[in-house]
Amino acid sequence: MHPQPSPTDDGFTLVEVLMALIVLGIGVAALMAAMGMHVKTSAANRNQAAGAAMLVTASEYVKSYAWNPTVSGGTCAAIQASDLPTPAPTPPTGYTVTYGAGQTMPPASPCELQKVTVEVKGFGYDLQVDVAKRASTEVAP
Protein backbone atom coordinates (compact mmCIF):
# COMPACT_ATOMS: atom_id res chain seq x y z
CA MET A 1 0.00 0.00 0.00
CA HIS A 2 1.18 3.50 -0.83
CA PRO A 3 1.44 6.11 1.86
CA GLN A 4 -0.79 9.13 1.54
CA PRO A 5 1.04 12.32 0.39
CA SER A 6 1.38 14.94 3.02
CA PRO A 7 -0.23 18.35 2.49
CA THR A 8 3.21 19.91 1.89
CA ASP A 9 3.72 17.84 -1.32
CA ASP A 10 0.73 19.33 -3.14
CA GLY A 11 2.54 21.97 -5.28
CA PHE A 12 5.27 24.57 -5.54
CA THR A 13 6.19 26.89 -2.76
CA LEU A 14 6.25 30.63 -3.21
CA VAL A 15 10.05 30.62 -2.97
CA GLU A 16 10.32 28.06 -5.80
CA VAL A 17 8.03 30.10 -8.04
CA LEU A 18 9.96 33.29 -7.35
CA MET A 19 13.29 31.59 -8.08
CA ALA A 20 11.91 30.23 -11.35
CA LEU A 21 10.70 33.72 -12.34
CA ILE A 22 14.11 35.20 -11.53
CA VAL A 23 15.89 32.61 -13.69
CA LEU A 24 13.43 33.17 -16.57
CA GLY A 25 13.75 36.96 -16.18
CA ILE A 26 17.54 36.78 -16.45
CA GLY A 27 17.22 34.64 -19.59
CA VAL A 28 14.71 37.02 -21.21
CA ALA A 29 16.85 40.06 -20.31
CA ALA A 30 19.91 38.44 -21.90
CA LEU A 31 17.89 37.60 -25.01
CA MET A 32 16.61 41.17 -25.31
CA ALA A 33 20.12 42.59 -24.92
CA ALA A 34 21.37 40.25 -27.64
CA MET A 35 18.54 41.28 -29.97
CA GLY A 36 19.29 44.97 -29.35
CA MET A 37 22.95 44.41 -30.23
CA HIS A 38 21.90 42.54 -33.36
CA VAL A 39 19.74 45.48 -34.49
CA LYS A 40 22.61 47.96 -33.97
CA THR A 41 25.13 45.73 -35.75
CA SER A 42 22.75 45.09 -38.62
CA ALA A 43 22.15 48.82 -39.12
CA ALA A 44 25.90 49.55 -39.06
CA ASN A 45 26.58 46.80 -41.60
CA ARG A 46 23.76 48.05 -43.85
CA ASN A 47 25.13 51.62 -43.72
CA GLN A 48 28.67 50.48 -44.45
CA ALA A 49 27.50 48.34 -47.38
CA ALA A 50 25.50 51.26 -48.80
CA GLY A 51 28.55 53.55 -48.52
CA ALA A 52 30.84 50.97 -50.15
CA ALA A 53 28.34 50.39 -52.97
CA MET A 54 28.12 54.14 -53.57
CA LEU A 55 31.92 54.36 -53.63
CA VAL A 56 32.07 51.67 -56.33
CA THR A 57 29.31 53.39 -58.33
CA ALA A 58 31.01 56.78 -58.10
CA SER A 59 34.44 55.38 -59.05
CA GLU A 60 32.91 53.59 -62.06
CA TYR A 61 31.31 56.90 -63.02
CA VAL A 62 34.76 58.55 -63.03
CA LYS A 63 36.25 55.61 -64.96
CA SER A 64 33.58 55.96 -67.65
CA TYR A 65 34.49 59.62 -68.26
CA ALA A 66 36.11 59.98 -71.69
CA TRP A 67 38.94 62.35 -70.83
CA ASN A 68 40.33 64.20 -73.84
CA PRO A 69 42.77 66.75 -72.41
CA THR A 70 43.53 69.95 -74.25
CA VAL A 71 46.93 71.59 -74.16
CA SER A 72 47.05 75.18 -72.97
CA GLY A 73 50.37 76.94 -72.51
CA GLY A 74 52.31 73.71 -72.94
CA THR A 75 50.43 71.78 -70.23
CA CYS A 76 47.11 70.08 -69.67
CA ALA A 77 44.60 71.23 -67.10
CA ALA A 78 43.73 68.90 -64.24
CA ILE A 79 40.45 67.04 -64.37
CA GLN A 80 37.86 68.93 -62.33
CA ALA A 81 34.64 67.62 -60.80
CA SER A 82 32.79 70.06 -63.05
CA ASP A 83 34.34 68.33 -66.10
CA LEU A 84 32.60 65.05 -65.28
CA PRO A 85 29.41 64.39 -67.26
CA THR A 86 26.02 65.00 -65.72
CA PRO A 87 24.00 63.57 -64.20
CA ALA A 88 26.30 62.11 -61.59
CA PRO A 89 25.12 59.08 -59.61
CA THR A 90 22.74 60.09 -56.83
CA PRO A 91 23.96 59.03 -53.39
CA PRO A 92 21.55 57.39 -50.97
CA THR A 93 19.96 59.58 -48.30
CA GLY A 94 22.49 60.53 -45.65
CA TYR A 95 25.56 60.17 -47.90
CA THR A 96 27.61 62.74 -49.81
CA VAL A 97 29.98 62.10 -52.70
CA THR A 98 32.95 64.34 -53.47
CA TYR A 99 35.11 64.15 -56.60
CA GLY A 100 38.59 65.62 -56.14
CA ALA A 101 40.57 67.46 -58.79
CA GLY A 102 42.84 65.34 -60.94
CA GLN A 103 46.49 65.13 -59.95
CA THR A 104 49.42 64.12 -62.09
CA MET A 105 50.72 60.62 -61.47
CA PRO A 106 54.51 60.78 -61.96
CA PRO A 107 56.36 59.80 -64.06
CA ALA A 108 53.46 60.31 -66.50
CA SER A 109 52.71 63.75 -67.89
CA PRO A 110 49.58 65.66 -66.80
CA CYS A 111 48.25 65.01 -70.30
CA GLU A 112 48.66 61.25 -70.02
CA LEU A 113 47.57 60.06 -66.59
CA GLN A 114 45.83 61.67 -63.63
CA LYS A 115 44.31 60.37 -60.44
CA VAL A 116 40.92 61.52 -59.21
CA THR A 117 40.02 60.93 -55.56
CA VAL A 118 36.43 59.86 -54.94
CA GLU A 119 35.16 60.23 -51.36
CA VAL A 120 31.88 59.02 -49.85
CA LYS A 121 30.80 60.21 -46.39
CA GLY A 122 27.78 59.33 -44.29
CA PHE A 123 26.63 57.68 -41.07
CA GLY A 124 30.10 57.90 -39.55
CA TYR A 125 31.86 56.35 -42.54
CA ASP A 126 34.47 58.17 -44.61
CA LEU A 127 35.45 56.00 -47.58
CA GLN A 128 37.69 57.05 -50.43
CA VAL A 129 39.45 55.61 -53.44
CA ASP A 130 41.85 57.00 -56.04
CA VAL A 131 40.83 56.38 -59.65
CA ALA A 132 43.57 56.46 -62.29
CA LYS A 133 42.34 58.22 -65.42
CA ARG A 134 44.24 57.77 -68.69
CA ALA A 135 43.62 60.16 -71.56
CA SER A 136 41.29 58.78 -74.24
CA THR A 137 43.51 60.27 -76.93
CA GLU A 138 47.25 60.82 -76.94
CA VAL A 139 48.18 64.44 -76.39
CA ALA A 140 51.68 65.84 -76.60
CA PRO A 141 52.23 68.68 -74.13
Mean pLDDT per segment of 10 residues, for the chain of length 141 residues? 64 91 96 96 95 96 89 81 91 94 83 92 94 80 53
The dihedrals phi and psi of 129, each to the nearest 5 degrees, come to -150, 145
Q: Are 133 and 67 in contact (CB under 8 A)?
A: yes
Beta strands in 10-137 (DSSP E): 71-72, 75-76, 96-99, 103-104, 113-122, 125-134
Whole-structure pTM value: 0.75
Cα radius of gyration (the chain): 32
In this predicted structure, what is the pLDDT of residue 59?
Answer: 95
Distance between CA 38 and CA 46 in Å, rounded? Answer: 12
In this predicted structure, what is the pLDDT of residue 11?
Answer: 81
Distance between CA 29 and CA 54 in Å, rounded? Answer: 38
Cβ neighbours of residue 125 under 8 Å, at least 6 residues apart?
47, 48, 51
In this predicted structure, what is the pLDDT of residue 75?
Answer: 78
In this predicted structure, what is the pLDDT of residue 17?
Answer: 93
Q: Are 131 and 79 in contact (CB under 8 A)?
A: no
